[in-house]
A and B are shown apart, each in its own frame.
Chain A
């Protein structure tokens, strides 16, 4: 088991390197292939004063004139050991892990990411709990009372949940609740307000996911209820309630856990639509803002952190799976 985890972690590092290579290629190499010169790429950063000195300064910041592999190597080394940028006048030191330096906002990327992460984390945790609990609960009820009014109602709502995007549900909820503040308050400064202010964003994000989970749980439960081992449990005289949660739900939950890990990882990388809709200063909003500003180092940083969360969630899910399913554990 331990060697398995170590192997997975090494593979994950390799995967993240590949992802960084691809994003680097997209933002710094592809433009040059498309005919951009170091000067024209730098021009996007300089703004109105297009004097050669300023252009050259930007080229020096990024190292646009260096060979591509050197640029990439510098970037990776920077992540591990920090990096010093020179704009010809002064030196700018970027501490490890250095994911680059935003010359738009004159900030290091990593501290920016760190300051935005708690918002996204708060969104993900609250919404994740909500959608897991309500999705699985209504899925189980639907499956057990298949064809009943409760089943039809929850599956109808679930259909709406899958169909309605978060930027529709969010404003709708805001309109319905009136002047409910959704301004982010850090958990440590006021936990109550933190939860209160995030409640509507949580519901808005969880709605769609809960709908999906309800449908998956219902299908999984219906499958499980037809399994031979459920019939065996009944033949043993096990109480029906226990048959449902101990035998059927247990096997229906396994795929749900897998998907939950993946979804949570995705949201941790930034709930873009939600954060924009509610102006929550998380990673998703950061990504959108930096795309609008052509702030490549920040975009790369957000992309890498999102990739990190997804790859990490994948590993957690795989390890968890081995604990849930004994057949995986021993092979």
Chain B
């Protein structure tokens, strides 16, 4: 494990030119204003934290045909997030909500981000839109954000607030968790959807209204030309979420982020909403990020899955292998605590013991070790050394001190029979 680790880091460090070509695509646009504060300027040759390097290695192993051809790395993914950190300084200490995660999403593909409450999922999504709480003028409060977010070659971390305003709702849009509180109670559903359209298009109100009705029809609201004038509280929960989806899709966003899109809905409606999202994603060929604590949701939709724990990614790989060959004990725990109906005898759910750690005092070493049943197999390392996200040579990344062969045999012998 550490040997693998040691090998991979120099491999990238010895390759500075590649790193340059990789990150700065020709399509990169900058807001025309002068250079932003130098503190934010990403230094391309700074020895980057290891998990970034490893995510590059991950790409290499995932797409082996690129391995030897450095110039092909220049095809930057549509969304490229690297070593993103969102920290909130508070009186009690720094809350490390997101602590160095990297991922990428292509157009037409879906990434599922899975984790318990407080694992940093929602903060991740808000920071993609630049909606995380910002410090006031004296630099107090708010989030300290670092790392890189590249959307279609554009640097979002250093983008001006006005530029982000232009992008939000237009090129990247978000679907929120609880559509009742996410919609303004005093405006009609139609007004709120049309507002998203008018924010990015020079159009008359009549045109926006027509487009809104089309969109409501598209997401399956019955009698859209009548319901467009209803208020959110007159809609049912499922219809509100449909309206929310219509609102986020009205400008044909290229990146759609859905933060727990089905959590507030009952199960039958959940399935409908997920179907709808999949159809619309295919129709618009947009990149989709689904954030959820519900593995069932990502099983339906995701191409890739990233499992988050305490602000870090613990397992990241193609959905299929994460589901069939999960290697991180936390992922096992999530799978074990998921109700399943496809078995004749309903076995007891296996909850993960303990509760998620405080993000101010994250346990030393592996953040998961206090809740991990297998920590004692390794001895002291789990409590002392932070495991790095590393390739398991089976196309996905795992951050665990157990050796890959140990993990596989543990899963096969002790975990899989219980699932």
Tell me the bound Cα distance from A98 to B136 in angstroms.
Answer: 63
**Is A231's CB within 8 Å of the partner chain B?**
yes
User: Which one of A56-64, A175-183, A210-218, A232-240 is at the B interface?
Assistant: A232-240
**Is B154's CB within 8 Å of the partner chain A?**
no
Tell me the bound Cα distance from A240 to B134 in angstroms.
Answer: 13
Tell me the bound Cα distance from A180 to B200 in angstroms.
Answer: 54
**Chain B residues whose CB sits within 8 angstroms of the CB of A83 once the complex forms:** none
Q: Which residue of A lies closest to B178 (CB)?
A: A228
**Chain A residues whose CB sits within 8 angstroms of the CB of B168 once the complex forms:** 234-237
Asked if B183 and A229 sit within 8 Å, CB to CB, the answer is yes
Tell me, rounded to whole Å, the shortest Cβ–Cβ distance linking A258 to chain B: 15
**Is B165's CB within 8 Å of the partner chain A?**
yes
Asked if A233 and B131 sit within 8 Å, CB to CB, the answer is no
Tell me the bound Cα distance from A238 to B182 in angstroms.
Answer: 14
**Chain B residues whose CB sits within 8 angstroms of the CB of A239 once the complex forms:** 165, 199
Give per-residue flags for A223-264: 1 if the beta carbon is below 8 A from chain B beta carbons, else 0. 000011101111111111000000100110000000000000
Asked if B140 and A147 sit within 8 Å, CB to CB, the answer is yes
Asked if A247 and B129 sit within 8 Å, CB to CB, the answer is no
**Is B217's CB within 8 Å of the partner chain A?**
no
From the candidates A234, A240, A247, name the one contacting B184 in the complex (CB within 8 A): A247
**Chain B residues whose CB sits within 8 angstroms of the CB of A250 once the complex forms:** 184, 186
Tell me the bound Cα distance from A314 to B413 in angstroms.
Answer: 72
User: Which one of B169-177, B331-339, B403-411 is at the A interface?
Assistant: B169-177
Asked if B174 and A235 sit within 8 Å, CB to CB, the answer is yes
**Is B221's CB within 8 Å of the partner chain A?**
no
**Is B247's CB within 8 Å of the partner chain A?**
yes
**Chain A residues whose CB sits within 8 angstroms of the CB of B178 once the complex forms:** 228
Instruction: Take A147-B138, A147-B140, A148-B137 as given contacts and tell me if A237 and B170 are in contact as well, using a CB distance cutoff of 8 Å.
Output: yes
**Is A7's CB within 8 Å of the partner chain B?**
no
Interface SS, A side: helix
Tell me the bound Cα distance from A228 to B260 in angstroms.
Answer: 14
Give per-residue flags for B277-298: 1 if the beta carbon is below 8 A from chain A beta carbons, else 0. 0000000000000000000000
**Is B231's CB within 8 Å of the partner chain A?**
yes
Tell me the bound Cα distance from A231 to B137 in angstroms.
Answer: 20
Tell me, rounded to whole Å, the shortest Cβ–Cβ distance linking A28 to chain B: 49
Q: Which residue of A lies closest to B130 (CB)?
A: A234
Q: Which residue of A lies closest to B177 (CB)?
A: A228
Tell me the bound Cα distance from A228 to B181 in angstroms.
Answer: 6
Asked if A327 and B185 sit within 8 Å, CB to CB, the answer is yes
Q: Which residue of B lies closest to A237 (CB)?
A: B169
Tell me the bound Cα distance from A160 to B186 in angstroms.
Answer: 35
**Is B160's CB within 8 Å of the partner chain A?**
no
Asked if B184 and A233 sit within 8 Å, CB to CB, the answer is yes
Asked if A232 and B183 sit within 8 Å, CB to CB, the answer is yes
**Is B20's CB within 8 Å of the partner chain A?**
no
Asked if A231 and B131 sit within 8 Å, CB to CB, the answer is yes
**Is A325's CB within 8 Å of the partner chain B?**
yes
Tell me, rounded to whole Å, the shortest Cβ–Cβ distance linking B138 to chain A: 7
Asked if A330 and B234 sit within 8 Å, CB to CB, the answer is yes
Asked if A235 and B169 sit within 8 Å, CB to CB, the answer is yes
Tell me, rounded to whole Å, the shortest Cβ–Cβ distance linking B128 to chain A: 11
Q: Which residue of A lies closest to B197 (CB)?
A: A236
Asked if A229 and B185 sit within 8 Å, CB to CB, the answer is yes
Asked if B136 and A231 sit within 8 Å, CB to CB, the answer is no
**Chain B residues whose CB sits within 8 angstroms of the CB of A231 once the complex forms:** 126, 131, 176, 182
Asked if B131 and A237 sit within 8 Å, CB to CB, the answer is no
**Chain A residues whose CB sits within 8 angstroms of the CB of B166 once the complex forms:** 237
Tell me the bound Cα distance from A324 to B192 in angstroms.
Answer: 17
**Chain A residues whose CB sits within 8 angstroms of the CB of B131 once the complex forms:** 231, 234-235
Interface residues of B (CB under 8 A from A): 126, 129, 131, 136-138, 140, 161, 165-170, 173-174, 176, 178, 181-186, 192, 195-196, 199-200, 231, 233-234, 247-248
Pairs across A and B, CB under 8 Å, 27 listed: A146-B136, A147-B136, A147-B138, A148-B136, A228-B178, A228-B181, A228-B182, A231-B176, A231-B182, A232-B184, A235-B129, A235-B169, A236-B168, A236-B169, A236-B196, A237-B167, A238-B165, A238-B169, A238-B195, A238-B199, A239-B165, A240-B165, A251-B185, A251-B186, A326-B233, A327-B233, A330-B231
